[in-house]
Amino acid sequence: MQSKRPIPPYRIKMVEPIRIIDRKEREKKLIEAGYNPFKLHSEDVFIDLLTDSGTGAMSHFQWAALMKGDEAYAGSSSFFRLEKVVQAITGYLYVMPAHQGRGAEQVVIPALVKHPGMVFFSNIHFDTTRAHVELSGARAIDVVIPECFELDHYHPFKGNFDLVELEKQINAVKAENVAGIIMTITNNSAGGEPVSLENMKGVRKLAQAYHIPVIIDGARYAENAYFIKQREEAYRDCSIREIAKWQFDQGDIFLMSAKKDGLVNMGGLIAIKNDRHLFELCQTRIVPMEGFPTYGGLAGRDMEAMAVGLEEALDLDYLTYRIAECEYLGNRLLEAKIPIQTPVGGHAVFVDCGAMCPQIPYDQFPAQAVCNALYLEGGIRAVEIGSLLLGRDPDTSQNRQADREFMRLTIPRRTYTLEHLDYVADCLISVYQKRHELKGLAFEYESPILRHFTARFRVVT
């Protein structure tokens, strides 16, 4: 009889010891960190669900590929191997590596801003994307479907653009003032929710009608392709690689943090379909910011590992288990009546801490309070994806209010077992039972950009 528990399509070849410090010590460490899990030392964390960015395990094929790294400053053979893989997957002509996704953003996004007051549209801009848009003098406007934040309402593609609203917004600001449309796949801030291929085609059609470039923020493009295969009838019998290629057909530019679906600990990508002028402009920009265009801030061995990882991430067996382990944790929480985004997305479980702790106002960051409580309960580190991450309005300096105050339980790839996830569920259930005792947070230090990374807090009494 087949087990209902998902079975990983790999076996463990090397282990890393982890330890849990006692609760009294955790209380001390959290105070020292200013009630900000980002500032905890990793050795003081038992299970680390802060991010899936660069925290996964590489395969033995990737570790072997490291030994082939060509560390030439210019024209590294490792680059040309990576370039060939990226071109084959995306169909894009021009490829440059970057040290990670935000390195790619800092090169490309300002290059698209032709004059002050331009805007970027996205299904939802994630944190560094929004920061780079605003640092470039542009504005970030989110145009996601209204079903996105109806947590109990089933929609197979909650990451979709609202196409009617998108066209309305384009006309409102005038097309010549739109620097680009950023398709985030999967849609991280929405709960790791996918975008349908038909929706992507709709965005592409609008963009072409108004002569607007389309940027695919594809850190989790393989996971998005898996959801399309599972949930979009027309593509059920297609391979992940075929669906991935059709996704890229809908864009002009591809930006990637390869620390997700590249299955590496460090690396990013810029790929441009066929715009030679933009490629040359980005080449000029990448040299002072990241490095020579054939290494872009990476060692040759990093590029070798990425070339292998990009292929591995398209494996159907790997993706089936990857999505199943997220769903497994989500189902444990749903059984305990903990409010989460449903259906569960591709890389994390998103807990609705606003609903969980209605006594905490949005500008006292209920999800941050729950993250801290979860660390105290079991040494588990999670991350806030709510009003803290959203930051302040650049015009008014007022705290922006997120649609949902999410805590993200982010599952690193090929790293933790289901026993670890059961422990996470048990600890969060314990926190949930004491949720009415939790209190909000106030700033002791707040940086002007990407404040959630470095802020320090005090508990509101």
Catalytic, out of 73, 175, 426, 434: 73
Please indicate, yes or no, whether residues 34 and 114 belong to a single structural domain of this protein.
no
126 counts as catalytic: yes
Sign of CA dihedral 247, 251, 256, 262: positive
| pLDDT band with cut points at 50, 70 and 90 for residue 152 | confident
The rounded percent of the chain whose pLDDT value lies above 70 is: 99
Averaged pLDDT for residues 77-88: 98
Whole-number average pLDDT of the chain: 96
| pLDDT band with cut points at 50, 70 and 90 for residue 110 | very high
88 counts as catalytic: no
Q: What is the pLDDT of residues 24-59, one digit of tens each?
A: 999 999 999 999 999 999 999 999 999 999 999 999
Query: Which residue range(s) make up the domain with 281?
Result: 60-312
Please indicate, yes or no, whether residues 272 and 224 belong to a single structural domain of this protein.
yes
Q: Is 222:188 a contact under the CB 8 Å cutoff? A: no
- Indicate whether 127 pLDDT > 90: no
Q: Could you tell me how far CA 51 lies from the centroid of its own chain?
A: 8
* Domain contains 16: no
Q: How many CA atoms lie within 13 A of 420 on its CB side?
A: 20
- Cβ neighbors of 264 (< 8 A, separation 6 or more) are 54, 58, 62, 258, 302, 305, 306, 309
Averaged pLDDT for residues 209-233: 97
Sign of CA dihedral 245, 250, 255, 256: negative
Q: What is the pLDDT of residues 290-310, one digit of tens each?
A: 999 999 999 999 999 999 999
What's 214's domain CATH number? 3.40.640.10
| Adjacent-strand bridge partners of 193 | 187
Averaged pLDDT for residues 425-431: 98
Pair of tokens at residue 150: 């109806």
Q: What is the pLDDT of residue 2?
A: 44
Residues in the chain: 461
Please indicate, yes or no, whether residues 160 and 281 belong to a single structural domain of this protein.
yes
127 counts as catalytic: yes
- Number of domain units in the chain: 2
Alpha helices of 136-272 — where are they, by DSSP H? 163-173, 197-210, 221-231, 240-249
Please indicate, yes or no, whether residues 142 and 251 belong to a single structural domain of this protein.
yes
DSSP category for residue 450: S
Q: Is 441:72 a contact under the CB 8 Å cutoff? A: no
Catalytic, out of 219, 222, 258, 382: 219
420 counts as catalytic: no
DSSP per-residue string spanning 324-347:
HHHHHHHHHHHHTT--B-SS--SS
Please indicate, yes or no, whether residues 287 and 324 belong to a single structural domain of this protein.
no
Please indicate, yes or no, whether residues 442 and 342 belong to a single structural domain of this protein.
yes
- Indicate whether 3 pLDDT > 70: no
Q: How far apart are the first and last CA of the chain?
A: 54
Q: What is the pLDDT of residue 1?
A: 34
Residue in the structure block whose two tokens are 């199943």: 324
Please state, in angstroms and rounded to a whole number, the distance separating the CA atoms of residues 118 and 133.
9
DSSP category for residue 40: S
Averaged pLDDT for residues 62-85: 98
Most distant CA pair in the chain: distance in Å?
Answer: 63
Please state, in angstroms and rounded to a whole number, the distance separating the CA atoms of residues 395 and 255.
28
Q: What is the pLDDT of residues 10-20, one digit of tens each?
A: 999 999 999 99
Q: What is the pLDDT of residue 258?
A: 97
Please state, in angstroms and rounded to a whole number, the distance separating the CA atoms of residues 40 and 429.
23
Please indicate, yes or no, whether residues 78 and 175 belong to a single structural domain of this protein.
yes
* Domain contains 255: yes
Q: Is 121 helix (H, G, I), strand (E, B) or coil?
A: strand
Residue in the structure block whose two tokens are 């989790």: 220
What's 411's domain CATH number? 3.90.1150.10
Please state, in angstroms and rounded to a whole number, the distance separating the CA atoms of residues 389 and 394.
14
Averaged pLDDT for residues 381-400: 92
Residue in the structure block whose two tokens are 């964390």: 45
Averaged pLDDT for residues 148-177: 96
* Domain contains 7: no
Averaged pLDDT for residues 353-380: 97
* Cα angle, residue 340 at apex, residues 342 and 22 outer, rounded to 5°: 140
For residue 250, what are the CA distances in angstroms to 278, 345, 356? 18, 22, 38
**Which amino acid is located at 431 in the chain?**
V
Please indicate, yes or no, whether residues 338 and 373 belong to a single structural domain of this protein.
yes
Helix 300-312 with 77-90: angle, nearest 10 deg? 20
Look at residues 262, 280, 312 and tell me which one is the last residue of a structural domain.
312
Q: Could you tell me how far CA 70 lies from the centroid of its own chain?
A: 30
Q: What is the pLDDT of residues 272-295, one digit of tens each?
A: 999 999 999 999 999 999 999 999
| pLDDT band with cut points at 50, 70 and 90 for residue 4 | confident
Catalytic, out of 46, 92, 126, 365: 126
Please indicate, yes or no, whether residues 176 and 289 belong to a single structural domain of this protein.
yes
452 counts as catalytic: yes
* Domain contains 249: yes
The rounded percent of the chain whose pLDDT value lies above 90 is: 94
Catalytic, out of 44, 52, 127, 352: 127
Q: Could you tell me how far CA 169 lies from the centroid of its own chain?
A: 25
Backbone angles phi, psi at 81, to 5 degrees: -65, -45
Catalytic, out of 99, 125, 132, 260: 260
| pLDDT band with cut points at 50, 70 and 90 for residue 393 | confident
Look at residues 282, 312, 342 and tell me which one is the last residue of a structural domain.
312
254 counts as catalytic: no
Catalytic, out of 44, 217, 261, 352: 217
Please indicate, yes or no, whether residues 340 and 448 belong to a single structural domain of this protein.
yes
Q: What is the pTM of this model?
A: 0.94
Q: What is the pLDDT of residue 394?
A: 83
